[in-house]
Amino acid sequence: MVWIPGFGKYSPRMGNRVGDKAPDFTLQDQDGRSVHLAEELGHRPVVLVFYPMAGSPVCTRQMCSLRDGWPELMSNAKVFGISYDSVQNLQRFKEQEHLPFPLLSDPDKAVAKLFGVDGTFAAARVTFVIGADGLIHAVIDNVKAGDHAAQVLAAL
């Protein structure tokens, strides 16, 4: 995978690696509702899908892969997409692509920084699988956009 300056690149460090307790956070979803990670944990794994930009060709392919794999994904985990996009852009993207999972807005890059995927212009394309216990069980940093649902299911 080619890295583009200004785009995030996964930087493993204490707090964002497999086996570490996932950093807690609160972000707004595409409808302006607050989503708090600690409140989402407990029953099933949580999948955090960081992606660079809503509506870009590769990000659309990645998110649509998750949409197309949704029946199996939703029975195994809660899925959240995270990007620097505004709530309004995320709402439009979710509606246009008929995405069944929430999209979270991280405009100040705070959550991307916690997970070590921040970049100047966009977050890295990295997915974290967090167990019901709050620990990071898998990090997918070699995302294949068109097959991302299969990658996530394999990690679960």
CATH number of residue 135's parent domain: 3.40.30.10
**pLDDT grade, residue 4 (50/70/90)?**
low
For 27, counting Cβ atoms within 10 Å of its Cβ (0-12 exposed, 13-18 middle, 19+ buried), the class is buried
- Whether residue 10 is contained in a domain is answered as no
User: Does residue 17 fall inside a structural domain?
Assistant: no
Task: Flag whether 85 is in a domain.
Answer: yes
Whether residue 12 is contained in a domain is answered as no
Active-site annotation holds for 59: yes
Contact between 118 and 8 (Cβ < 8 Å): yes
pLDDT band per the 50, 70, 90 thresholds, residue 42: confident
Whether residue 101 lies inside any domain: the answer is: yes
Residue 2 has pLDDT above 90, yes or no: no
Domain hosting 151: range is 26-155
Assess if residue 47 is contained within a domain. Answer: yes
In whole angstroms, what is the distance from residue 114 CA to residue 25 CA?
A: 9
Closest CA to 46 of 111, 109, 136: 136
Do 27 and 35 touch, CB atoms closer than 8 A? yes
Percent of the chain with pLDDT over 70: 96
> pTM of the predicted model, to two decimals?
0.95
Annotated active-site residue in 49, 59, 87, 149: 59
60 part of a folded domain: yes
In a domain, residue 50? The reply is yes
Query: How many domains, in total, are found in the chain?
Result: 1
